[in-house]
Amino acid sequence: MEGFGENSIETSREMERVRRKALGQRGDEPLGDPWTSSSIHSTSQEQKSHAWLFIDSVFPVKLAIWDIRFYYGKIRQEYLIDSLRDIISAVQTHGFKPISIEPHVKDGGVFVLFEYIPSQSEDVLPIIQSDLRNYVRSRGGVPSSAGIRRGDIWVVHGQPWREDMNRFASPLLRVVFDGADPHEESLYHTFRPFGRIIDITAPAPFSGTSYRASTVTFSDLRSSIVARNVVYGIRVGQTRLRTLFVPPVQGHVIRDWITKHPRFVIPVVVFFLGTLTYTIFDPLRALMVEGKILDWFDYREFRLYQWLRRNTVGRLTLRSTDTADADTEAVWQGRQDAEITLHNYLDDMPTNVAFVYGPQGSGKSKMLSRILQDKKRPATGYWPVFTFLNSMSNLVDLASVGVIGQKAGLSSSLPDQVKQILEIVGTALRSVSSARRKQAHHSHENAVRAEEQLRDTKRVLGLIRCGVWHDPRMGPVAGGGVIAELGMGDEPFGERDEDCVIYPNEVITPILSAPIREGSNTPVLQGVTALPIVVLKNYVTNSKEDIMGVFAKWAAALVEGQTAHVVVVSHNRENSKSLAKALPSKPLNMIALFDADNASALEFIKTTLHEAGVEVQFSYEETEMINCLGGRASDLASFIHKMRAGQTPMDAVDDIIRQGVSELRKQVFGDDIDDARSLPWSREHAWAVLRALASKDTVPYYETLMNAPFKGDEGPLRSMEQVEMITVDTQNGRPSSIRPGRPIYRYVFKRLVGDPIFRATQDLASNAKLIESAEATVRGCERELEVLRTIGYDSVHWWSRPTAIGMRAKYLMGKMEDAQATLEKLERRNGELKKVLSECESHSTASILSLQGSTPLPGHPKTLRDLTNASTLLTLPSSFGAIQLGETFSGALAVNNESAATVDSVSLRIEIQTTTSKVLLADIGGPTLSLIAGDTLEATSTMRSKSSDSTSWPALSRTNFPLAHEGPQRWRR
């Protein structure tokens, strides 16, 4: 067996001779069996015993043949041994005395043979070891060649074996059993004091021998070295243990290390994958963006394709000029100022961002399309995009969390992805900008050079015509004679030498010494026109602020680097705040688009209807009705659509107003309480603004802000501006006034305020808040007056000087009196409002308003209207009241077919929406139900309240009955 033959026996005998030589014994005495002799010897003559110590980490551990640290340890060997002898010689515990120190440089330690006086009552070796450790630590630790004093002292339990074979230290220690297999617990308790054990394999036959062995794997190399030198030859029971290092397994080392160290491997792999992406795909994407901008891959821009198209298809195509857009824009005079401002911005170097804002339908996109009609860049050409990698990245991160407990970092958030895309596009834009500037500079130089050549040619021609031009080459050609005599010399002519007649049509262009005049061909202007134009549309910050913030920073970087012109298009002025934060030192170039004036809007309607083949002449009343729409393009388009469908102007405008009422009630006040709670404002806030704008075109901003129910809170006003319910006008950079978000909204507000039921319910809700505030004021004054009374408040007489307490009490009394007067006023007003509710029939006000036709049907109640092509949502207001415990709620809804024809696909659905649940009362009809002339579809429902609390019952009834008529609704308790 390798390592356990004659060599090992001879080495043990050599160690024994060293011990005897140190003790002064004769060398020819019998040595005995090295496997049975003990490392602890006693001499009866001196009553002393001898043992071995192993001190680790004195020299560098030799890990391979090429490890040169071994030679550095050999150089300092003598000094380290002397230092170590001086330190341990100072310990005298139980007669401790070092006899010899034998270096074992390959394993980085030394063996120390010492003598001591044993004790009959206790084992003194652990005491000696403990005292040596304590003393050495007090002296700073075990000296080492590296200067790091981390070594320790161990009593050798087995027999030292100083071998110098190429068996280098490793954390794997093979333990060979010379005898029966010991228990795993015995091996663990034997080797655990030297360091943490990772694994102990089961005993197995040792290759090439009759012995069996186990492999002990330590967590670090130092523990394995100590165990190898301290335990070698120890007996565990009847079995002697022999230890030797096992070299690391070479097969599948990398694979095993990768699988065992995922915390290190996965981040490294992710890093290399990211590096590969940034090295290959990102430059490729930047190249694709640059190619898309410069039309590298667009075959339609190739000269060969254009020539073929001009000479083939172009000759057969009838060209026509579409003047529809031009005619439309001609009547839209309000956009000219905005176009001029945007043109001026694009004709200068970019120093800030152009922010184009205006209400929806104001023509922002159309104006940009006309200005940039020769720059067809629908997209940036960011490619390739591996969309499937997002899901794969999430899966890898999920697996990484299960393996190493943390994400691998492959997946990224949406703002990070957008930022990466924009950075690549920005790189491509900078490259395009630089290339176009160089091209513009070269073009300008070529133009200047051509102009100079043309100027020189004209000058020479003029001098030749005047006869004052001399070519030096004419002398050798002419030779002697008359021609030579008539020829001129080589000296140049001056102005006095010229004697010629200049004809009027022959103008000599002199040489210009002045610089070239600034114009369209200058490099600066050519560089400006060569810059790319970036347009960001639909810039909205109310829902995706983090993503829009990334766009804002990117736009700021483009203009600060003068890489491109940036035009941001939004429908609201409030969205410019994120851009202003990205450019704190430069103001934005604000370009506003407003609604057209009434004259332009009317002309636009007439022109559009004329193009559609509809000739109209509006009367004065109809013109005034059309003026209610204002100049909002979306409302004008809706009006034109209704006119083309056959409606009269009065009906079309009234239909738009009724549609606005329904939309506003749903959007601003909510269908039910749950919807109202989800709004960023309360119903009281919306009602206060709506009621004020119903009577005035504009209201002061700060007056509205400071009064109830806002009381200084700008959040609701800004949120209402975001949804275009209102528009906040500015003056000198600050808010100044509030006006309706759309011109038609003023009449929508008036109609809502004119509804007595809706006005009463909203006033009751607003008064409830005011009453609550007034009552809180009264209670607060009462509490403070009670405190003043306890302090010593006395009534103030006219002959006495008022005290501070008296003045405070007087102030509180006046404040409480005002609050009480307000309470009484609001209570009286609430009584009047409740009287209004009680006098009105219990009809759904929204249904009356939204289902109001052109004229009432004759012979029917006034609430009955012609509902041709009607499909709407009927909502019973919350003012209907509350259903208390035990009360019964019943309702009936009738759909009457008063027409002369059969109506198909009639459906009726009635729901009751409470504060906590929604109950379906009836769902009748459908595609198969038809109503002949005179038939009636009626649904009656009854519900009894079983709740212990009072329940608010805003009833919700949904109907869908094309070409049908709605009958009266009767709701009762």
Question: Any idea where the domains of the chain sit in the sequence?
Answer: 6-155, 172-248, 662-839, 845-972
pLDDT value of residue 892? 60
Structure-token pair, residue 567? 């035009």
Q: What is the distance, to the nearest Å, from the Cα of residue 89 to the centroid of all Cα atoms in its chain?
A: 70
Q: Where are the beta strands (DSSP E) in 914-966?
A: 918-925, 930-931, 936-944, 951-952, 955-960, 965-966
Q: Is 670 left (phi over 0), alpha (psi -120 to 50) or beta?
A: left
- Angle at the Cα of 963 (from 962 to 968), degrees rounded to 5? 90
Structure-token pair, residue 422? 């924009």
| Contact criterion met (CB below 8 Å) for 168 and 62 | yes
DSSP string of 607-635?
Answer: HHHHHTT------HHHHHHHGGGTT-HHH
DSSP one-letter code for 163: -
Stretch 54-82: mean pLDDT: 86
| Contact criterion met (CB below 8 Å) for 169 and 229 | no
pLDDT digits (tens, 9 = 90+) for 448-480: 899 899 988 888 888 777 766 666 666 555 555
948 versus 608: which is more confidently predicted? 608
pLDDT value of residue 326? 45
Amino acid at 353: V
CA dihedral 535, 537, 542, 544 (to 10 degrees): -70
pLDDT digits (tens, 9 = 90+) for 571-585: 888 788 888 888 888
pLDDT value of residue 522? 61
Beta-bridged to residue 567, according to DSSP, are 354, 535
Instruction: Tell me: pLDDT of 800 over 90.
Output: no
Instruction: Tell me: pLDDT of 939 over 90.
Output: no
pLDDT value of residue 474? 60
Stretch 489-510: mean pLDDT: 45
Specify burial of residue 544 (Cβ count, 10 A radius: 0-12, 13-18, 19+).
Answer: middle
324 versus 68: which is more confidently predicted? 68
Give the whole-angstrom CA distance, residue 106 versus residue 127. 29
845-972: same fold as 172-248? Answer: no
- Which helix (H) or strand (E) is 438 found in, with range? helix 414-466
Structure-token pair, residue 372? 């940039």
Give the whole-angstrom CA distance, residue 611 versus residue 623. 20
208 Cβ neighbours under 8 A, 6+ residues apart: 1, 2
| Contact criterion met (CB below 8 Å) for 599 and 346 | no
pLDDT digits (tens, 9 = 90+) for 584-596: 888 888 888 888 8
Structure-token pair, residue 556? 């700021």
Amino acid at 268: V
Could you count the other beta carbons within 10 Å of the beta carbon of residue 288? 19
Instruction: Tell me: pLDDT of 349 over 80.
Output: yes
Could you count the other beta carbons within 10 Å of the beta carbon of residue 665? 22
Specify burial of residue 71 (Cβ count, 10 A radius: 0-12, 13-18, 19+).
Answer: exposed
| Domain 172-248: CATH superfamily, name plus number | RRM (RNA recognition motif) domain (3.30.70.330)
Instruction: Tell me: pLDDT of 867 over 70.
Output: no
**Side-chain half-sphere of 117: how many Cα atoms within 13 Å?**
5
The b/e string for 874-910 (b: 16+ C-beta within 10 A; e otherwise) is: bbbbbbbbebeeeeebebbbbbbbbbeeebebbbbbb
Specify burial of residue 837 (Cβ count, 10 A radius: 0-12, 13-18, 19+).
Answer: middle
- Which helix (H) or strand (E) is 644 found in, with range? helix 633-644
499 versus 164: which is more confidently predicted? 164
Instruction: Tell me: pLDDT of 123 over 90.
Output: no
Which band of pLDDT confidence, cut at 50, 70 and 90, is reported for residue 791? Answer: confident
Which band of pLDDT confidence, cut at 50, 70 and 90, is reported for residue 46? Answer: low
Give the whole-angstrom CA distance, residue 319 versus residue 614. 27
Which band of pLDDT confidence, cut at 50, 70 and 90, is reported for residue 929? Answer: confident
pLDDT value of residue 45? 47
Stretch 92-119: mean pLDDT: 91
Q: Tell if the pTM clears 0.85, that is, is over it.
A: no
- Which helix (H) or strand (E) is 135 found in, with range? helix 125-138
C-alpha R_g of the chain: 50
Q: What pairing do the DSSP bridges indicate for beta strands 354-357 and 565-570? A: parallel
82 Cβ neighbours under 8 A, 6+ residues apart: none
- What is the phi/psi pair of residue 15, to 5°? -60, -35
Size (the chain), residues: 973
Give the whole-angstrom CA distance, residue 574 versus residue 567. 16
| Contact criterion met (CB below 8 Å) for 922 and 892 | no
Stretch 223-233: mean pLDDT: 93
Structure-token pair, residue 852? 């109001």
6-155 has CATH 3.40.50 classification: no
Could you count the other beta carbons within 10 Å of the beta carbon of residue 807? 11
- What is the phi/psi pair of residue 705, to 5°? -65, -40
Give the whole-angstrom CA distance, residue 439 versus residue 362. 38
Mean pLDDT of the chain: 76
Residue 267, preceding peptide bond in cis (omega within 30° of 0): no
Q: What pairing do the DSSP bridges indicate for beta strands 888-896 and 936-944? A: antiparallel
Stretch 171-176: mean pLDDT: 92
| Contact criterion met (CB below 8 Å) for 922 and 939 | yes
Give the whole-angstrom CA distance, residue 261 versus residue 539. 47
Residue 384, preceding peptide bond in cis (omega within 30° of 0): yes
629 Cβ neighbours under 8 A, 6+ residues apart: 601, 635, 636, 639, 653, 656, 743, 744
pLDDT value of residue 3? 43
pLDDT digits (tens, 9 = 90+) for 287-309: 888 887 777 877 777 778 778 88
Among 1.10.1660, 2.40.50, 1.20.1280, 2.60.40, what is the CATH number of 845-972? 2.60.40
Among 640, 570, 655, 562, smallest CA distance to 601 is for: 640
